[in-house]
């Protein structure tokens, strides 16, 4: 079946602009995660959704970052007033369930964001 998809694959923007990144999880997966991968910081957790709610937003680096999920499926990560330090690859992952399950997370191809 189809894996996790993300769009766009690449995004170049100017400092100060807003960007929206999209994630389509694997059908039926209730849990959805956003991570960020950058040279300096490695792989960092940003936010976790269970259904449409976000019980863990602890990784969002500032109030410029927000995310939502609708219909228990598609999620968008929005970065307002982008800064150069926001440049990174943003990865989305989904898993069938959470709690005491395997919680094996399946990753999408990522969106490479470059802020000029």
Binding site for other proteins (CB under 8 A): 31, 33, 35, 42-45, 48, 50, 55-56, 58-59, 91, 93, 98-100, 102-110
Q: Which is nearer to other proteins, 83 or 97 (CB)?
A: 97
Q: How far is the CB of 21 from other proteins (least distance, A)?
A: 14
d(CA 30, CA 43): 22
Q: How far is the CB of 81 from other proteins (least distance, A)?
A: 26
DSSP 63-82: TTEEEEE-TTS-EEEEE-S-
Q: How far is the CB of 102 from other proteins (least distance, A)?
A: 6
Q: Which is nearer to other proteins, 39 or 63 (CB)?
A: 39
- Going by DSSP bridges, is the β-strand pair 42-50/53-56 parallel, antiparallel, or unpaired? antiparallel
* Residues contacting residue 62 through CB under 8 Å, at least 6 positions apart: none
Tokens 């040279």 belong to: 39
d(CA 51, CA 71): 8
Q: How far is the CB of 63 from other proteins (least distance, A)?
A: 20
Q: Which is nearer to other proteins, 18 or 106 (CB)?
A: 106
Q: Which is nearer to other proteins, 15 or 58 (CB)?
A: 58
């Amino acid at each position: 079946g189809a894996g996790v998809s993300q769009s766009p694959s690449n995004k170049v923007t100017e400092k100060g602009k807003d960007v929206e990144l999209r994630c389509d999880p694997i059908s039926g997966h209730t849990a959805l995660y956003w991570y960020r991968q950058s040279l300096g910081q490695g792989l960092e957790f940003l936010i976790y959704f269970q259904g449409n709610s976000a019980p863990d937003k602890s990784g969002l680096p500032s109030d410029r970052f927000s995310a939502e999920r609708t219909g228990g499926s598609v999620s968008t990560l929005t970065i307002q007033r982008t800064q150069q330090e926001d440049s990174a690859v943003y990865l989305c992952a989904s898993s069938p369930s959470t709690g005491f399950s395997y919680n094996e997370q399946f990753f999408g191809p990522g969106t490479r964001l470059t802020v000029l």
